Amino acid sequence: QPPQKDYDDLCSLPDLNEKTLLENLRNRFKQEKIYTYVGSILIVINPFKFLPIYNPKYVKMYDNHQLGKLEPHIYAVADVAYHAMLQRRKNQCIVISGESGSGKTQSTNFLIHHLTA
């Protein structure tokens, strides 16, 4: 089979159904692309290992960029919330949800890391 195109935003899937959604997530995960958007929502699949995508290079890369312009990343979500807070002068909220062991605490740590940087 030819390699399938992967979509970094599930809203872009030509045929959006449970099968294509799961296939896309599986295909991205195999490439160690653990982040996928659904519009402005970020889906994260816990790789249960450290990936080298949380260093100062990535902090700088996602600084002041629109959501969706770069590959999905938790830093992008943190940065959009931060800049919305500055521009609108209103508090912002990021909801982190998931099953036990899904990586919520680690995701929170990555968000805080980006915000403090």
- Tens digits of residue pLDDT in 32-67: 999 999 999 999 999 999 999 999 999 999 999 999
- Tens digits of residue pLDDT in 74-88: 999 999 999 999 999
Any bridge partners for residue 9, and if so which?
A: 37
Q: Please indicate if the annotation marks 101 as binding a ligand.
A: yes
Q: Which of 87, 76, 86, 83 is nearest to 110 (CA)?
A: 76
Cβ distance 82 to 116 under 8 Å? no
- Highest mean pLDDT among 4-8, 42-46, 100-104 belongs to 42-46
Q: Please indicate if the annotation marks 71 as binding a ligand.
A: no
Q: Please indicate if the annotation marks 99 as binding a ligand.
A: yes
Q: Does the 8-114 domain belong in CATH 3.40.850.10?
A: yes
Sign of CA dihedral 80, 85, 105, 53: positive
Q: Please indicate if the annotation marks 98 as binding a ligand.
A: yes
Q: How many CA atoms lie within 13 A of 114 on its CB side?
A: 26
Domain range summary for the chain, segments of one domain joined by +: 8-114
Q: Please indicate if the annotation marks 39 as binding a ligand.
A: no
Q: Please indicate if the annotation marks 105 as binding a ligand.
A: yes
The whole-angstrom separation of Cα 78 and Cα 96 is 12
Whole-model pTM: value is 0.91
